[in-house]
Amino acid sequence: MAAETKLSHTAAMILQAIHAGYVYGFSIMEVTGLPSGTVYPAMRRLERDELIRSQWELQSIADSEQRPPRKYYKLTAVGKTALESSRKRYPLLERLFPVEEAQQV
């Protein structure tokens, strides 16, 4: 997908959330307030368009914390460029969930 592609507000919010450090589906739902039926399909489309990519957590880490392994999402280079363009389009996006806040969480 071209870097100049115009993203929907939802997609831009999800990209911003991932960029801010909310890297798995449930945390993105929590921070954006979007329902699961919106967040997960949007993430599928973003992954298809190669704006984000996913990776399974190591089983050993999940075992040590006694929980099932999570699937983590990460912005790609194209995704970062698309997020930059979206920030120009939606100036308030950056203020929704600043990076520092997520890192503290």
Partner 1 sequence: MNLNLNLAFRAMNLSMLYAASLLVSVDRREEWLSEWKAELWHVADARIERSAFCWHTQREVAAFCLGSFADAQCLRRQAWDEQSKAVNVHSSAMQCLLWLASLFVLCAILACLLPGVRAEYDTVLHPVRPNLLLIAATNFDDHQVPAITYAEFQNWRSSYQRYFDGLGFYRTDTQTVALSATRNGKFIVALASTNMMTLLGLPVRGANIAMDTDRSLPQVILSYDMWVRSFGSDPHAAGRTIRIGEQIVRIAGVLPCSSWKPPVNPDLWLLVPDAQLASGNQDASGYVVAHLTKIGQQAMDTERISVTVRGMGDHEPSFCGIAINGNATGPWRIYLFALFLAALALPAVTSLSMSESSFSSHRPSWKQSMSRWLFLCAKLALISSIAYFASLDIAYARVGGYSETAELMQLMANFLLCLFGFRWALMDQRQRCPVCLRRVTHPARVGLASQTFLGWNGTEMICVGGHTLLHVPSLPTSWFGAQRWLYLDTSWEFLFADLTL
End-to-end CA distance of the chain: 32
Taking a C-beta distance cutoff of 8 angstroms, is the pair 43, 25 a contact?
Answer: yes
Residue numbers at the binding site for partner 1 (CB under 8 A)? 24-26, 29, 35-41, 44-45, 48, 67-71
Q: Is 97 helix (H, G, I), strand (E, B) or coil?
A: coil
Report the residue number, 57 or 94, with the smaller CB distance to partner 1. Answer: 57
Report the residue number, 50 or 84, with the smaller CB distance to partner 1. Answer: 50
Least distance between partner 1 and beta carbon 88 (Å): 25
Tokens of 75: 């912005």
Gap between the Cα atoms of 71 and 87, Å rounded: 26
Report the residue number, 39 or 75, with the smaller CB distance to partner 1. Answer: 39
Residue pointed to by tokens 């999402």 = 73
Least distance between partner 1 and beta carbon 57 (Å): 9
Least distance between partner 1 and beta carbon 20 (Å): 18
